[in-house]
Amino acid sequence: MLELDSTLAQHIVDRAMAILPHNINVMDAQGMIIGSGDPQRLHTRHEGAQLVLANRRVVEIDEQAAACLRGVKPGVNLPLLHAEQLIGVLGITGAPDTVRPYAELVRMAAEMLVEQRQLQAERHWQRHQLETWLRQLSDSSVSLAQLAAEAERIGLALSWPRQLVVLELGEEGEQSRVLAGLAGKAEQCGPVGVRQLLLCRPYQSGRDDAGWLAQFDARAAGIQRLLLSDALHDFSDLREAALALRNLQAYAQVHKPAERLLRLDDYRLQALLHGRRNDWSLQRWLAPLRRVLAQDAQGQLRETLAAWCRHDGHPQACADELGIHRNTLRYRLERIAELSGLDLARRDQRLLFTLGLDLLDE
């Protein structure tokens, strides 16, 4: 059951007394005055309120009755209800015949303020639960069964397939402004970092995410980058996508700092390898490329390798892009083969250079 606190009680008093020329008191469920226009009456017991609480009815007190009760002045005292539960008492000081016309209106306004405060508390609770759930998506210590049970407990309406989206905010980004633009009932969004939001939304093939980002730009929401998963079909997919997007984000920060929209489908292998970039096996795999770059002070061999990989080993297209003669290209490729010990004519070994250039820091 909701309990009145002094902050809410005084708020009711202040709102009512801004309109009425009479003192207002609000008493809690024990009959103590916790809100009043007369500070001297705060934290004193109101025997008239106790009569209201005992009988669940309006109690009017005139001058004669007031003289027989402690802590009471003439006025009208009414029960305050929330969800049909008696939570306190509202009192209006003055001759009953004078203040009676205002009594029901003030009680109605007070109960509306109580209801508003309760709804705010419920929304705050739901938002907190949602934010916790979104953070748990990438927390492997939380089982998938727990994740599903929590979603049901807090009333998440998850239709499948779904999509996870990481929204990175710039220095000027405001989480509240972005969240206000994501008010759909089917979408769940919340902060998972200081400047990072995670959105769980229904998957829609062919969605115009570039246009969606442009709409937020027009509202100056401060979104710096979007990272998007593919279609997800169950809680296991949600968990794996949350972890994969974390790797994609780390990869993008190093190798794609200017890219504002990255799809996991386009960078799945790079994100996977970047997440394991410190593994012994991967470091051994990258060793031939490191030997090449160690002898490439001017960056000429890196540039040549990047062009060679982009054109899938077609020499004329590579030479044209670099603006060099094919003989010069052949000399550079021979030098790369000599330093690395690899055969660039082999497609599987070119893969090392294609992926490796993306894995090594600039």
pLDDT recorded at residue 216: 85
Among 121, 156, 172, give the residue marking a domain's end.
121
CB contact burial 110-126 (16+ within 10 A = b; e otherwise): bbebbeebeeeeeeeee
- Asked, for residue 134, whether it belongs to a domain, the answer is no
Q: Do 199 and 243 lie in a common domain?
A: yes
Spatial separation of the C-alpha atoms in residues 323 and 316, rounded to whole Å: 10
pLDDT recorded at residue 362: 47
Q: What is the CATH number of the domain that holds 15?
A: 3.30.450.40
DSSP code per residue over 254-280? HH-TT-SEEEHHHHHHHHHHHHTTT-H
Spatial separation of the C-alpha atoms in residues 60 and 78, rounded to whole Å: 9
Bridge partners for 25 per DSSP: 36, 91
- Asked, for residue 130, whether it belongs to a domain, the answer is no
Count: domains in the chain: 3
Spatial separation of the C-alpha atoms in residues 124 and 119, rounded to whole Å: 8
Q: What is the CATH number of the domain that holds 189?
A: 3.30.70
pLDDT recorded at residue 361: 60
Among 271, 293, 327, give the residue marking a domain's end.
271
pLDDT recorded at residue 185: 58
Q: Do 345 and 253 lie in a common domain?
A: no
Among 224, 252, 271, give the residue marking a domain's end.
271
- The C-alpha R_g of the chain, in whole angstroms, comes to 34
Q: Is residue 167 within 8 Å of 226, Cβ to Cβ?
A: yes
Q: What angle do CA 174, 142, 223 make, to 5 degrees?
A: 15
- Asked, for residue 188, whether it belongs to a domain, the answer is yes
Q: Do 325 and 220 lie in a common domain?
A: no
pLDDT recorded at residue 255: 86
Q: Do 111 and 228 lie in a common domain?
A: no
Q: Do 293 and 320 lie in a common domain?
A: yes
- Asked, for residue 43, whether it belongs to a domain, the answer is yes
Question: Which tokens in the block code for residue 87?
Answer: 């939570």
Q: What angle do CA 132, 137, 142 make, to 5 degrees?
A: 85
Total count of residues recorded for the chain: 362
- Asked, for residue 137, whether it belongs to a domain, the answer is no
pLDDT, one tens digit for every residue, the chain (362 residues): 678 899 999 999 999 999 999 999 999 999 999 999 999 999 999 999 999 999 999 999 999 988 888 888 999 999 999 988 999 999 999 999 999 999 999 999 999 999 999 999 898 998 899 999 999 999 999 999 999 999 999 988 889 999 999 999 887 656 766 776 675 656 888 888 888 999 999 999 989 999 989 988 888 788 899 999 999 999 999 999 999 999 999 999 988 899 999 999 999 988 988 888 888 988 898 899 899 999 998 889 999 988 988 888 889 999 999 999 999 999 999 999 999 998 887 877 878 888 888 777 64
Q: Do 250 and 354 lie in a common domain?
A: no
Q: List the domain range (segments joined by +) for residue 213.
A: 144-271
Q: Do 150 and 95 lie in a common domain?
A: no
Backbone angles phi, psi at 5, to 5 degrees: -115, 170
Q: What angle do CA 339, 344, 346 make, to 5 degrees?
A: 135
pLDDT recorded at residue 92: 96
pLDDT recorded at residue 310: 87
Helix (H, G, I), strand (E, B) or coil at 60: strand
Q: Is residue 62 within 8 Å of 77, Cβ to Cβ?
A: no
Spatial separation of the C-alpha atoms in residues 111 and 84, rounded to whole Å: 11
- Asked, for residue 139, whether it belongs to a domain, the answer is no
Q: What is the CATH number of the domain that holds 314?
A: 1.10.10.2840
Q: Do 295 and 312 lie in a common domain?
A: yes
Question: Which tokens in the block code for residue 213?
Answer: 């980002």
Closest to 342 measured CA to CA, from 331, 351, 302: 351
Spatial separation of the C-alpha atoms in residues 304 and 357, rounded to whole Å: 11
